[in-house]
Chain A
């Protein structure tokens, strides 16, 4: 059995907006293996959520999706039709969303909603489904699981609800979990617990985990590999160590320079910022999307599409024509990159 759980090749998502065609995701490619966590990082609006929704085929009805390859456990997903995808959703791949407070139906008990996820995809009895639900509730760290099963969502706190969502995602034992900012809406202390839980579960159940976040701190804790997204494209991808120690794309460098590092950042040292704004994603664009804000920009940057090429360390890909020079710079003194 191959280790590769998900292969995405050249994924494009566009939305019709009054001003034209919004190209939210522009040719994104990545893969996830069993047991590894891919973190997709980027700021709001870079297209990371839509990427995950595109994989699950949960895009808004007006959106258009195109991909050269979209394979889950070796099976192509992009052309199999509504019914077949519904059979796979919640079954072989599951998604966890950002807002636990509103992601559960207030009219049904926790138990009902958990069991429903399993009963939909397996020919088993209600009792067995209930046992699995109990087991998972316990496994995700919810005390008094028996009682919780009969409770309604409004009787649980945000942290507990998110644990329920995780349990719900696990009901059918999926090979892939997509988690879209699962901790953003939670308290900082709970965030750590949830992340720890996700990492544990991934190891135990040997799943692939795609974690979407804007928080580099989370990436540092949990990522095996990282994909940095900007303006609908992946601008850099590689192992977590490589990205953090030797970022090769100016945007990644900028992101890292924004974070104070305990022990290294001096008092009074100015935190980096990236001036400017994300460019419009409407209509056709050429050249590097980051050019308008990049301190390393040269004339050639705006001329033609920049491709993702091997660069930096092994397995690392960068979308920048000057990446060799930049990697050299940052390897020597990461914090000194004055952006």
Chain B
């Protein structure tokens, strides 16, 4: 077919016309991006462990066995270490592996829920501001600036201290506070899409605004949304851990990783694994979500790489 190439005849040949489709290009990019795959794999593993927690571990996370407290994990060179409690036990004799697995449930639950709540709030006001501009944009920008000026952790703590803390309260407080990045990113993404020709065409044809928003704008800002959603999920998880660490998040005896670290604070000089295990777990979870988010961003819009 080379003889019929464009250089010879001035007309593109069959191979030159049949360039790879966008979908297969995307697939190719996904498989070449090791960050995306690794992050996704670790996250999937954690989710799996969280879902299977009741089946994997024979212990109950709330089951105190004071006769068996502070057994070190299996890799410690201590006579007390045993395979029955591969990650040891805490100061109340609760199996650490079990607490860890159930803690994953808490972190993931809070992460996803807070992400959804803040996502709905932030995306709505961001898209509206980006699409309508003018006064709507001014108001939304003011709201965002106000929110950014508030010290989130402090306000969250203050509110929780008045209301009283529980899983639901934490989720809602976080959800109502961390929508700012959603708003900022979706606003700017919408602004960019809004001026493209097909939107103006849709308006010219007389499409109703909701229709334009859902069928034209949405698909084009979706990739930004996904990336921010992953980052904010990680953000929510870290915030909850900090709140629980300070005692104003999830309450004992619920196994939140942040809470586990807090409970072990006093003991960490002698039994450091009590803080390193949940700490590493938090780190891995947030790391995997960040890698997934970065990978998604690279793969869906390589020009946005930093």
Contact = CB atoms under 8 A, between A and B. Distances in A.
- The answer to A–B direct touch (Cβ < 8 A) is yes
11 contacts: A275-B10, A276-B7, A276-B8, A276-B10, A277-B6, A277-B7, A277-B10, A279-B7, A280-B7, A292-B7, A292-B8
Interface of B: 6-8, 10
Given A277-B6, A280-B7, 9 more contacts: A275-B10, A276-B7, A276-B8, A276-B10, A277-B7, A277-B10, A279-B7, A292-B7, A292-B8
A276 B10 CA distance: 5
Contacts of B8: 276, 292
Interface of A: 275-277, 279-280, 292
A275 B6 CA distance: 10
A31 B146 CA distance: 66
Contacts of A276: 7-8, 10
B216 to A, nearest CB: 34
B1 to A, nearest CB: 15
A276 B7 CA distance: 6
A277 B9 CA distance: 9
Contacts of A275: 10
B107 to A, nearest CB: 42
A305 B127 CA distance: 62
A145 B10 CA distance: 52
A292 B7 CA distance: 7
A275 B7 CA distance: 9
Contacts of A279: 7
Most buried by B among A275, A279, A292: A292
Nearest to B6: A277
A279 B5 CA distance: 11
A279 B6 CA distance: 10
Contacts of B10: 275-277
B77 to A, nearest CB: 52
Contacts of B6: 277
A297 to B, nearest CB: 11
Nearest to A279: B7
Nearest to B8: A292
Contacts of B7: 276-277, 279-280, 292
B12 to A, nearest CB: 10
Nearest to A278: B7
A291 to B, nearest CB: 10
A279 B7 CA distance: 6
A204 to B, nearest CB: 46
A280 B6 CA distance: 11
A280 to B, nearest CB: 7
A277 B16 CA distance: 14
B8 to A, nearest CB: 6
B231 to A, nearest CB: 32
Q: What 5 pairs across the A-B complex have the smallest Cβ distances?
A: A292-B7, A275-B10, A276-B10, A277-B7, A279-B7
Nearest to A280: B7
A277 B10 CA distance: 7
Contacts of A277: 6-7, 10
Nearest to B12: A277
A37 B10 CA distance: 36
Nearest to A292: B7
Most B C-beta atoms less than 10 A away, residue of A275, A277, A280: A277
